[in-house]
Structure 1
Amino acid sequence: MIGAIADDFTGATDVAVALRRRGIRTLLYFGLPPQRAEAPEHDAVVIALKTRTVHKADAVARSLRALRWLRAHGAAEQVYFKYCSTFDSTPDGNIGPVLDALADAMDVPIVPMTPSSPEHGRTQYNGYLFVGDVLLGESPMRHHPLTPMTDSYLPRLLEAQSAYRSGVVTLPHVRGRGVERRLAELRGQGVRYAFVDALEDDDLMEAGRALAGAPLVAGAAGLAGGLAAAHARTRAGAGHGGAPAPEPSGPAAVLAGSCSARTLEQVHHMIEAGRPAYRLDALADQNADSLARGALAWYDTLRQGTGAPLIYSSLEPAKLRRVQEALGVERSASILEAAIGRIARGLVERGVTRLVTAGGETSGAVVSALGVPGGVIGAEAARGVPWILPSSGPALLLKSGNFGDPDLLLEASLADPRN
């Protein structure tokens, strides 16, 4: 069995659907599963943690607990550490400290990885990460409120937060079927982390073939898809995942907290389309309870036929900086996440059966507030953005901040009685 540990909830859904798309029967758990979890037959388990921006010691402890659970429940073949395709982290972590801990615990000499995900516009060349046609450090990610990315060279980024050296498996090695040879060279040079170049999906398929036997691999969902394809070709029982479940129906609402450029575009698209929208203003009210009460009172005034509503805290970089300067980064984030969690509970109590969330921290807050343990991977509303169908409670669409076309939030919340 393959075991994946994801550092946020939207990333977990992304990697889970990448595995399932290749026929790997995949279970998704939000948080550490119970020790005696009853589950249908499966080939992979994805554990969604909320460790991307917590204190690094906490991130390491949670990740090691997830590793112990996976190994105790049969994930001895391969462990995959899923991080964001834009390598979201700071010089203190958390990618480096978590990888160091996992590699030490598993006694793994070298860990291959790549954040490349060409379908989402993320590619790696000569160890540099590109977002679309610009370097990571020149992309909108340089303004990220929690993990601003101002450098683009991945080995340098990781070495700043890790105790070990990093190197690169360049594109000629990948396309010349020389990944294994290059890894052996890097290992002989004392390198522990090897970033594998990939510009196209075929590069990820070749990397997956070469790395199918590696005990610990890391990266975004792109490489997970390459590994899944390699496993599906050889594994008895794989390839029987069946068609995705149909899209859920019923009353919907959209909760957006990400301040990424793409989410801001999607929020604007909803507002321009005439959907009712309510902005959570942490400067005007620093009490999460009253913020939530105000949003729910507004929701109660909506009439049928207005379309699924949007409740959001997403802000442009300049406005976001003013909020963070006034309240502090951590305090402003905690207020809004707590409010969104309370709002999610209130919406479900009011009959909402579909929740669309934008942003990893926002999604984590919603899942935690609703106490959702996990669910079945359903149909994709966008590439890498599937519906999650729990055994009880609302269907969830957990969208990473940077994912989806401009109309994703609008389209995903259609077919609602309020339309």
Structure 2
Amino acid sequence: MALLLGCIADDFTGGTDLAGMLVKAGMRTIQTIGVPTWPIGDDVDAVVVALKSRTTPAAEAVEESLAALKWLQGAGCRQIYFKYCSTFDSTAKGNIGPVAEALLAALGSDFTIACPAFPVNGRTIYKGHLFVGDGLLSESGMRHHPLTPMTESNLVKVLQAQVQGKVGLVDTAVVSRGAEAIVARFAQLKADGCRFAVTDAISNADLLAIGAACAGMPLVTAGSGVALGLPQNFRKAGLLAEGQVADALPATGGARAVISGSCSVATQGQVAAMREKCPAFNVDPFELAQGKDVAAAALAWAADKLGCEPILIYATAAPEAVKAVQAQLGSEAAGSLVEDCLAKIAQGLVAKGVGQLIVAGGETSGAVVKALGVSGLRIGPEIDPGVPWTTGIGGEAREKPLALALKSGNFGTPDFFLKAWSKLSA
């Protein structure tokens, strides 16, 4: 059977976030790490191709995204979804805009939406402005992001600076009237020469209405929230079964561990909460820069602690500490040192019997799955909104199931690392 929905995500945790939403809405979903080179089974409705293109040069991001699109088109996907973060984080020149325009052109389409809203996690759009909780994006912790600082909350302005086509707005007054009103507004914007429509959303009801309005749209660009409304379009068309169980995973065992590289405010709180309850090891980038084998030290520390309770290995730090490291080492060098070290630690932990692993941070998650040789993920039950458990496909997961939770830095409740294990089958 041909796939229904083909998705391109600009980072690994973002891909998992989207895949989890699709599973929650009843679509059997696999996430691949890069463009797949292996066959997808018949028991799959949606595929999310996860790239590491959020912070790469724009031309490279476009090239990788078009390669993913070509594969998804070859697999027969009826609709394409370009997924970015719910904080719309990007540089002044991209990569959201350039990738979206390239995908539109490749699909022969002339219009799409831009909607990173995810209300259940506090990401809402009102009058085109993105809010994080009760404050504007520009006043949130994202203004300090080391790679993609967000200092502008008006998404029409942010996107217009990245694209050649005109950007319009579908505001909350229209969205609140439902799918038909949204479709009518789309038509008005297209007639006015707009190629993109930033779309307000302040509730899940809004997301469902937006999803319904996107039925038949060749390309949807959004955070993971709009995915809630798309599966019903396929059900109405008789292409997706009602009541389908989509989140079943094989039972997993082994020791439990958390590896955290994100420095987001949410992850800082999660690390602090776990440090109070469980053994923890801090990865110091200055020690890495001095040539110390921090990975070996971490694995030696973990050797007699695995199996008793979950352990935490983290490089998470406050913005001031991150800036100090970047000032001395450079942002790219500091990031690479930490990611490489955490990936090596993940390899060692799995070799020592860790079978259930949580990874926090998009860049860290990408480095870890690459080091483990994991080529795909079967998506399972949700831990917190936007973060499901998964089991790895390929690599270290070939001989026995390896449970992985890849968490975006901004997601999850303060006790996320402590409660996640209860969602897994023993």
Tell me, yes or no, whether TM beats 0.5: yes
| Residue 397 of structure 1: aligned partner | 405
Residue 224 of structure 1, CA deviation: 1.1
Aligned residue among 221, 224, 237 for 2:224? 221
Distance 1:22 1:38 in 2: 20
Is the 1:287–1:335 Cα contact (8 Å) retained in structure 2? no
The structural deviation recorded for 1:182 is 1.2
**1:118-267 to 2 correspondence within 5 Å?**
118-176=119-177, 177-239=180-242, 241-242=244-245, 244-245=247-248, 248-267=252-271
Task: Give 1:181 shift.
Answer: 1.5
Superimposed CA distance per residue, residues 378-398 of structure 1 (whole angstroms, 9 cap, x where no aligned partner): 122222211111242521000
The code of the aligned residue for 2:420 comes to: A
Matches within 5 A, 1:11-410: 11-34=14-37, 37-75=39-77, 77-176=78-177, 177-239=180-242, 241-242=244-245, 244-245=247-248, 248-273=252-277, 275-286=278-289, 290-302=293-305, 305=308, 307-391=309-393, 392=397, 394-410=402-418
Contact 2:361/2:407, CA 8 A, preserved across alignment: yes
Give the conservation status (yes or no) of the 8 Å contact 1:289–1:339.
Answer: no
Report the Cα distance in structure 2 between the residues aligned to 1:289 and 1:45, rounded to whole angstroms: 40
TM-score, normalization: structure 2? 0.93
Question: Any conservation in 1 of the 2:255–2:307 contact (CA below 8 Å)?
Answer: no
User: Displacement, 1:287?
Assistant: 6.7
Q: How large is the RMSD of aligned CA atoms in angstroms?
A: 1.8
Q: What is the aligned length?
A: 412
- Answer with 225-234 or 350-359: which moved more: 225-234
Which letter does structure 2 place at the counterpart of 1:390?
A: G
Cα gap change, 1:51 to 1:101, in 2 (>3 Å): same
Deviant stretches of 4+, over 6 Å = none
Give the secondary structure class of the aligned counterpart of 2:289. Answer: coil
Structure 1 CA distance for aligned equivalents of residues 320 and 138 of structure 2: 18
Gaps of 5+ in 1: none
C-alpha change, 1:47 and 1:303, in structure 2 (3 Å) is closer
| 2-structure distance, mates of 1:303, 1:361 | 25
Amino-acid identity (%): 46
| Separation of aligned partners in 2, 1:60 and 1:384 | 25
Question: Quick one: distance in 2 between partners of 1:86 and 1:110?
Answer: 22
